[in-house]
Amino acid sequence: MDRRKFFRLLGAGGVLGLLKARAQTPPWDEETFAPMKTLGAPLSEYGQRSPFEEGVVRYISPNLRTRHSGADFAPLEKLEGVITPNGLHFERHHGGVPQVDPAKYRLVIHGMVERPLVFTLEDLKRFPSVTRTYFIECAGNGQNGYRNPPDPNLTATRSRGLASNASWTGVPLALLLKEAGVKPGAKWLIPEGMDAAAYTRSLPLEKAMEDVLVAYAQNGEALRPEQGYPVRLVVPGWEGSIQVKWLRRILVTDLPAMAKDETSEYTDVMADGKVLAFTWVMDPESIITYPSGLQQIKPGFHEIRGLAWSGYGRVTKVEISFDEGKTWRQATLEPPVERYAFVRFKMPWHWDGKEVVLWSRAWDEKGNTQPTREEFFKKWGRNNRYHYNAIQAWRILPDGRVVNGDRPLGQQAFGPVGGCDGEVFDG
């Protein structure tokens, strides 16, 4: 269906008709609209969400050996907009969450500097601050995509929920480094956390001087403990593993640390057997959150919705396919479209009740896009665990159930699969 036909339908109430076509009026009576007959809850010092929303929580795998080292997933398909609430931002820890007293907090910058410095939290807050919206994504996001055959019960949360998007406030790291005076020959920073693992990574000085934040606030309030309270690094576009939480010191040096978590971990195995280190930048990603895995839909009008992001900058377009990549239609991007941040995409669609497989792929300002599953494994090793960004497929069955639409590698068909089912309202 073309744009003009869609708007003619809209003007004539056609979309409402599509919405109502298969709707059933839910039962109601006078009590449904009756006013409350008792006083509601009183004022409170800190707002809580409705008890009816208590099911919207992060997903924690029941297979974890310990909850002190591991990750939980943001419930992407249950969220709206692009900002991840603080209590639902994904977590990744290597030694549990430390409790840090802000009054005793200190950040040390030392090594190849003219003036070694020690900052309190209040010192950091006296510097000129900036607020920026950035996604943070675990390098292991999408790890379920390495399974073959694919997990039929995959959800959007378990597919791409190790990514979240927030408004971060802090001090540009470049300001602190200029205050300390970086000596000639320095090329690397070695940030270290206050957790039990003394988590350590190597950060190139060039990136630090560009856009890295020493952040102390998230979405308008102090960082949550699981997000690095009171201070963490935010490194736009790069994998979450380098964005050290509970930041306590930064060593300025001429060589990388070659720490455990950048040698035995967070390195990438390629299809030819080579292993790459320091592969920080996150490739473009997209995920359809509605309709998505384990959801149930009915024939009629739907708005396809999802999220896209890229570590190379701004997402420029998202395309959706209804025939497993033979043809593509461009989705609408909802403003604002910011660099290194989530953007929401959407497309109006009428499902006619036939089986169909939905794909989405994001494109960024550098011309990068997402590969198919087969294309991805021509480059990356099957025994790798990181940087999976292949297209996530959702298969809608005739009874309305939505399941993982990824095919086992080398398999050409599920059985009968519909083409561009129903009508797509091009926006």
In angstroms, rounded to a whole number, what is the distance separating the alpha carbons of residues 75 and 240?
Answer: 18
Residue-level pLDDT at 414: 58
| Of residues 116, 118, 67, the one with CA closest to residue 93 | 67
| Of residues 363, 265, 262, the one with CA closest to residue 309 | 363
Dihedral in degrees, nearest 10, Cα atoms 407, 412, 418, 420: 80
* Neighbour tally for 422: CB within 10 Å: 18
* DSSP code of residue 353: S
pLDDT tens profile 340-363:
999 999 999 999 999 999 999 999
How far separated are the first and last CA of the chain, in Å rounded? 10
What is the 3-state composition of the chain as percent helix, strand, coil, each rounded to the nearest 5? 20, 30, 50
Residue-level pLDDT at 349: 97
In angstroms, rounded to a whole number, what is the distance separating the alpha carbons of residues 260 and 213?
Answer: 24
Residue-level pLDDT at 81: 97
Do the bridges between strand 356-364 and strand 343-351 make them parallel or antiparallel, or are there none, so unpaired? unpaired
Residue-level pLDDT at 426: 36
In angstroms, rounded to a whole number, what is the distance separating the alpha carbons of residues 309 and 162?
Answer: 13
Residue-level pLDDT at 427: 33
Counts for the chain of helices (H) and strands (E), in that order:
7, 25
In angstroms, rounded to a whole number, what is the distance separating the alpha carbons of residues 293 and 283?
Answer: 23
Residue 155 Cα distances to 132, 142, 190, 209, 406, angstroms: 29, 11, 37, 38, 12
| Beta carbons within 8 Å of 178's beta carbon, 6+ residues apart | none
Which burial class, exposed, middle or buried, applies to 85 when counting CB atoms under 10 A from its CB (0-12, 13-18, 19+)? middle
* DSSP code of residue 390: P
Task: Please tell me the pTM assigned to this model.
Answer: 0.90
Residue-level pLDDT at 416: 41
Residue-level pLDDT at 392: 98
Residue 228 near residue 90, CB atoms below 8 Å: no
Compute the C-alpha angle 259/179/224, nearest 5°.
55
In angstroms, rounded to a whole number, what is the distance separating the alpha carbons of residues 37 and 52?
Answer: 20
10 membership: H or E segment, kind and range = helix 3-11
Which positions of the chain have pLDDT values less than 70? 1-25, 412-427
Do the bridges between strand 221-222 and strand 329-330 make them parallel or antiparallel, or are there none, so unpaired? unpaired
